[in-house]
Each structure stands twice: as structure tokens, then as C-alpha cells.
Amino acid sequence: MKHVHLTAAALLLLGLDPSAAKAAIACADLAKTENQPSDVTITEAVVTPPGEEVSVAHCLVRGKTPDRQGIDGKTYAIRFELRLPVEWNERFVHQFNGGNDGAVVPAIGPLLGGRKSDTALGRGYAVVSSDAGHDGNANPDRGLAGGAAFGFDPQARRDYGYGAVATLQPIAEQIVEKHYGKPIAYRYGIGSSNGGRHGMMAAERMPEVFDGLLVGYPGFNLPKAAIQHALDIQAWSTVDPDIAKAFSRDDLKAVADGVLAACDSLDGVSDGIVADADACETTFKLETLACASGAITGCLRPEQIEALKTSIAGPKDAEGRALYTHWILDTGIASGNWRTWKLESSIEPWAKRPIIGVMGAASLAQVFTTPPTDVGGTPDELIAFLRDFDVARDGARIAATDETFTESAMDFMVPPGADNPRLDAFREAGHKMLVFHGNSDPVFSVVDMVDWYKKLDANHDGKASDFVKLYRIPGMPHGASGSSFNDFDFFTPLVAWVEQGKAPSGVAAGITEDNAEAASLEGTRFLYCPYPAVTRAGADPAAEGEGRYTCR
């Protein structure tokens, strides 16, 4: 839905002065008190020339909302930066950041594909980014748990979940329109992982605001996924107390090779890609990888098979009810990304512990359970917290409240109605959402995303694709990498959908020069299809590029 841009004649008819409406404010003058939005302090407003990180000249604005004192004695504010390109296309992007937030990531508007140089700012969009209301470095005494220690303050939890985006959006819009002296024509939100969750949250809580949302591999059920971290650490520990040794790189390659051997041809093209993931889920069996007598390579030991089966089944409560969802096995399990998240990172200060074992543990303890747990901040203490976490008993704490924390993690982190999504107000506003998710994601199960979309589609009589598109990315782990065609652009088709009414269908993709893990893929181009369509052999399977494929 295009936002109204009144002509000078129309403004005169309304009794308004068109010269005032078009009066732009110079970059440096945005920091003057009289030009600042109420309850906001602009700390910097400078003209910035093109450089290595940012390819276009722009006005860099930094600021914050008023300081407040948390119940934990810490000082909180929403800190942000806004970049306003000299050559502006009259459009705005809210950059939703990932992880635990806690830092003002440069507001350049990554477009989430493998080609990092392609940004919203570089395309002429004004872009805002924030720390979501807390400073991740405010608690150095808590060691590696410090980045999630904001969870001891209820308001900081709320701002992290949804409050910061809602507070910052009108502030950023006001600064943009003051600087350029004209209204914003279209508003977009872009984010992946926790940033993707921010986008889905905005669609529910702020349905009238964003004309288009680009959502990558979202953690929209993040508290539930955090319970999975504990399950994984416990499962890996049954194989080896040193979880990095539970599965070698060759072990995970054996799984990927087994999946590929069983499922590559199910989509009609043998190309190193398992496009028909649903068919593969019922075709491939882990037991086929069991080591024969005397074999030690290219296969899995019984305890490894059981550990993987426990992990992909997902966490359960004491009655056997699912606390999250299940997972599928895909070729990206052999990627460095999958290993870094699940088993072993290269981060020396973390003692090379996996991301789920450090950041995941700190978040589950301090942000996603009520009351928060004062967890130790060493790598061993964080791993021990997950190893000792009683999944069946304590998993319910993600939905708990008390007198101090009156919103549960499921309330402040998860989009309202996620179990029965409708997005009626978002749809009625004419807004669009494009979601993509890797089938090999080790952090948030693609099954959860597919189930959400199926429910949305059922609630709209099979017409959810009129306003939401979901793309599954074979081989892709948590981000544009792995044994996948990672050079894609989902933002351009989203914009065409929003502004021209051209609904996206197949999206062509290639491989970036630095993606060595995609070397085994056949060909240089692929075609991603909107769910439930699957990428299959086209009329000429021997053709070069994406032309060898079709969506059906």
C-alpha cells in the first residue's frame, strides 16, 4: 500500500504551506535540540562519504531514548543509528538484528543473501538499526553470560521481544522525513534469525506499519528452540563427554552423503540438491548408516544414531508432549555452520564450545525462563547448565510468570497467535511477507516454519500465498552458506510484489565465490520455489542454469 504523497496544490487546499512541507533539514542540523524528536537525544549527525563498508554517501545519525534504571540496577536505553543516503529512493528499511541484540549493528540493511556487498543502503534506502534496548557489554562480571543478563529486568526483556522496534519506528520515520522534507513512500522490515522473529512479531503487533517484510530463517518460537539446546547437549554427551568429539566431520559427512544418496533423485534431477525434503523425510532412515562389523569410517556407531534420533525428535515434557517440534536431516548437516552451532566453534574465549552451549545457555537461563537463573559465565558452567537442565520438568518455565515478570518468554518473544496464525490486519492492510528458511538450519527447525505456514494457509482457505510466501532452501544451514546456492536476492521480488503487485514465483540463485562448501553442487544456478511447490526437473533437464528447473 503506497503511502500518500500530497502535491503542493493538495496541500494548499488543506490550508497547509507547501514550502514548509518540503523544507529539508541538513544532516548536521538534525542534532540541534529543536530538530530532535521528543524524548530522544541525537548524539551525532555527520555527513559520511562512501567507504569500504558503505558504498554510498550518507548522513549518519546516532541517538538514544531516555535512560531508565532497571530493577537490576543497570541503566537502559534504546540506542540506534540511522543512515540517510544522499541519493534517497523515498523508501525506509528497519533493520532487525539477530542473536541477543545488545549492540547497534551498522545500519546498512543486509539483504540476507550470500553477497554481503548488496545492501538496502547501497540501493538508496534509509536504514535504522538498534540495540533493542540493552547493552550487551553492561555486565562484564558475568563472563560469557553477560550478554543475556538483561533478562533480569522485565522491561529489558519486553524491549528485546517487541518494545524496541515499536518505540523506534516512529522516531526513525520522523527523522527521515525531517531530513528529506518529504514523506516515506514505502516501509520495509528486514531481518534473519532473531531478526526474522522481530519481523514476524511486527506483522502481528504492528500490522499497519510495514508494507513489506523480508524474513530469513526466523526464530519465531525462540524460547521453545532454546529448550532444544539443552536436549542436544544432553544427547551429544551420551556419545562423548567432550561434545566436540561426539561426531567428527567425517561422521556428519556420512550423514549428508546418506541423505543425498537416498533423496537426490526424488525431485527428478540428480544435482547434489535434495529439493523434495518432505519425500526425503519418509525415504531416508538413519539406521542405514549403522557401521557393519569392523567398519569405522563412513558410518555411525549405535550411540551416535540414538543421539541423532533423540535430537531430531525434539524435546518432550513428562507426558511425552512436544515442547518444540521435530527436525529433518539434510545435506547441510556436514557444513561448518551446523557444526559451529551444535558441536564445536572456533571461538577461543569460548574454549571452542558451540554457540548453543554458550549464547544459547545464557539466554535460556536468564531471558527465556521465569524466574531467571543466575548462571555461571565460564564455558564449562554454561555447558553444565544445559547438561543438567531438566527438559521434561523445567521446559514449562518458558511460559511461566510471577509478580515481577508478568509476561512470560512465550508472551514477549513469540508473535501473538503463533499456534493459530491469521495475520488478518496485516493482510487487510495489503502488506506482504516473504520468508525463507534453510532445510539444514541447526538452530530453528524448518519444520516449525512449515507448520506455521500450513496453519496460516488453512485459516485463509488455501490463499495464504496471496500475502505470505515461504521458500525452503535445500542444504542451507543458519544463514546463506553451506552446500546451497547461497547467492540469492529475495528482496527485489518482495519490492515488486509490494509496489507493483507482481507476486513472486521461482527465484533464481547462484553460488558466491567464497562458498567452498557448495563446490560439490552440479551447475552454477538453481531455482527456489514458493512452498508447497518443489523445485523439479524442467522440460530440458540438461539445460544450463535455472532453466533446467521448474516449480510444481
- Catalytic center residues: 193, 441, 478
Which residues, 6+ apart, have CB-to-CB distance to 427 below 8 Å? 460, 466, 467
Strands (E), 382-486: 432-438, 468-473
Q: What is the DSSP letter of 134?
A: -
Amino acid code (one letter) for 327? W
Q: Which residues pair with 472 in a beta bridge?
A: 437
Q: Are 462 and 239 in contact, with CB atoms under 8 Å apart?
A: no
Q: How far apart are CA 91 and CA 433, in angstroms?
A: 17
Q: How many CB atoms lie within 10 A of CB 53?
A: 11
Q: How far apart are CA 363 and CA 357, in angstroms?
A: 10
Sign of CA dihedral 202, 204, 207, 212: positive
Q: What is the DSSP letter of 534?
A: -
Q: Which residues pair with 92 in a beta bridge?
A: 126, 187
Measured at the CA of 516, the angle between CA 510 and CA 522, to 5 degrees, comes to 50
The count of C-alpha atoms lying within 13 angstroms of the C-alpha of 70, restricted to the half-sphere facing its C-beta, is 23
Q: Any idea of the CA torsion for 456, 457, 460, 461, to the nearest 10 degrees?
A: -150
* The 3-state secondary structure of 428-448, one letter per residue: HCCCEEEEEEECCCCCCCHHH
Question: How would you classify the pairing of strands 186-192 and 212-216?
Answer: parallel
Q: What is the CA radius of gyration of the chain?
A: 24
Residue 314 class from Cβ within 10 Å (0-12 exposed, 13-18 middle, 19+ buried)?
A: buried
By three-state DSSP, how is residue 153 classified?
coil
C-alpha cell at 271: 544435482
Q: Which residues pair with 471 in a beta bridge?
A: 436, 530
Q: How far apart are CA 187 and CA 290, in angstroms?
A: 52
Q: Which residues pair with 84 in a beta bridge?
A: 59
Closest C-alpha among 376, 355, 354, 379 to residue 365: 376
The count of C-alpha atoms lying within 13 angstroms of the C-alpha of 259, restricted to the half-sphere facing its C-beta, is 27
H or E element in which residue 81 lies: strand 79-85
By three-state DSSP, how is residue 281 classified?
helix
Angstrom CA distances, 282 to 20, 149, 203, 291, 491, stand at 65, 42, 34, 21, 33
H or E element in which residue 95 lies: strand 91-96
Q: Are 41 and 79 in contact, with CB atoms under 8 Å apart?
A: no
Q: How far apart are CA 113 and CA 434, in angstroms?
A: 14
b/e map of 163-185 (b: 16 or more CB within 10 Å)? bbbebbbebbbebbbbbbeeebe
